[in-house]
Chains A and B, each alone.
Chain A
Amino acid sequence: MPDNIRSVGADWQPPSQQAAFRQIMNCFAYPGRLGQLATEAKHGLPLLLATLVDRSNRLADPHRLLDEDEHRRLGASPGSPEMSQFVVQPGAYPPDFQPMLGSLENPEQGATLIVVAERLGTGGSLHLCGPGIDGTATIAVQGVDPSWWQKREQWNASFPLGVDMIVVAGCQVLALPRTTRIDLKGVN
């Protein structure tokens, strides 16, 4: 787990965030494909958060992956993982919380979980299918506890309720919207 995730100045600039958003949106549109966040920082997490989160959101970071300065720059209200729209968690630890799943009338209020992995492209393979995927897709993820995938399946059992996940490792991102089904047979 990177213990020093810090932003660089350009992460807070509109052109970087526009480019980052297009990568993230592409990842949501085509789950299983990796996006590359263009930043000179060692880790893409601050740019990812700067692109999506601001003072109108509640952000939970119970493992303090970002330091106080970064949180101050983001300006999001701190919250518990159970009550926040955005939750940042290290993938190495199994999830020990119940995120917001939204309601039947407002499913968009389901949380966005940002899981920090060690590496994408190597490690245990996930087999994916669903909207945005032409047939099936396979993606390798290293450094995410397998219980995340089981929990995710439970959280997303009653569509349209559910959570959307972004896995970030270094400057690479992978999105798993709630409609993406993961074949858990191969996961260990």
Chain B
Amino acid sequence: MNPNYELPLDEADYSFGFLDEFAKREVRRTILKAISIPGYQTPYASREMPMGRGFGTGGLQLTLSLIGQDDTLKVIDQGSDDSVNAVNLRHFVELTCPGVNTTERTTEATLIQSRHRIPEVDLTESQVLILQVPYPDPLVVVEPSEAKRKVMHGEGDYSRLLTKLYEDIVQFDEITISHRYPTRINGHYVIDPSPIPRYDVPRLYRSKALILLGAGREKKIYAVPPYTVTEPLAFDDVPFRTEDFRDANGHRRACGRCGATDSFLDELIAEDGSKAWQCSDSDYCNQRLAELAQEVSA
């Protein structure tokens, strides 16, 4: 986005939050139904946004329907506040919601819109996490017809999905889904928790914060309410497991920047082919660095 671009407010008279009030009201009604039926992909009339579908329009419509002048918004993309998607979405909200605060600190935010990560710091009851979703239906890999998928979801029939996981085990000795891991919510609906890594899936379990998921292109909103039981699909003898950050000697790799051994790490490959690891959550990494600097100076 051109940094000098300004919405023509005088001519178009955009309302606060860009969306008109009818659109917001529809999204709000959908959110309430999504919370009431945990994990159910509630359909809504996803509006055209001034950006391409697939760039977080679902999450953005949720954010714009929720946000008020006393909110503080944090937008992250793969854990980072500074990547293109996050910067553009944050800039758009700043343009269309005058008076709203934005932050990079997880703990200061009341609304957190995220693409593909859940922040490292545990969220609180006063926060809402909004996840951008590209493909909301986990059954799409086994059933092409949406009408049939809706019946399967309603009946809680995930046998074909479990068969797919079983076939993975037979072929590769483990379930090969690295992200978008199918997760059952409150014992009924199975959701695609957006492309968060496996590492983040257990953090949906009994989360203190409400988690809303918005798929703009697919026109679906669903929710994981707070204090709700979530279970990644697995088998008794092949339990769910998260990413393994241990090196060849069995030591847990540390972030090359802040030294954290308890965070999700991105693998960086340098020009000479050497590898380094760094926290995916940039705010978490920065806060640790600041704390370490304080300890050194004290």
Contacts and interface: CB of A to CB of B under 8 A. Distances in A.
Interface in B159-202: 186, 188-189
Given A22-B66, A51-B28, 20 more contacts: A14-B24, A19-B68, A22-B68, A25-B28, A28-B36, A56-B26, A103-B154, A105-B150, A105-B154, A107-B40, A108-B30, A108-B43, A132-B227, A134-B227, A160-B188, A175-B32, A177-B35, A177-B36, A178-B36, A178-B37
Interface in B32-78: 32-38, 40, 42-43, 65-69
Interface in A16-40: 17-19, 21-22, 24-25, 28-30
Contact of A104 (B42, B154, B226): B154
Contacts of A17: 21, 25
B159 to A, nearest CB: 17
B37 A108 contact: yes
B28 A21 contact: yes
Contacts of A15: 16, 68-69
Contact of B37 (A103, A107, A175): A107
B147 interface: yes
Interface of B: 15-16, 21-22, 24-26, 28-38, 40, 42-43, 65-69, 125, 147, 150-151, 154-155, 186, 188-189, 206, 210, 225-229
A112 interface: yes
Interface of A: 14-15, 17-19, 21-22, 24-25, 28-30, 51-54, 56-57, 103-108, 112, 131-134, 159-160, 164, 175, 177-179
B226 A29 contact: yes
A132 B32 CA distance: 13
Given A108-B37, A160-B37, A29 B225 contact: yes
Nearest to A55: B22
Contacts of A53: 25
Contacts of A22: 66, 68
A4 to B, nearest CB: 26
Nearest to A134: B227
B25 A179 contact: no
A177 B210 CA distance: 14
Contacts of B147: 105
Nearest to A164: B36
A74 to B, nearest CB: 11
Contacts of A160: 37, 40, 154, 188-189
A108 B32 CA distance: 9
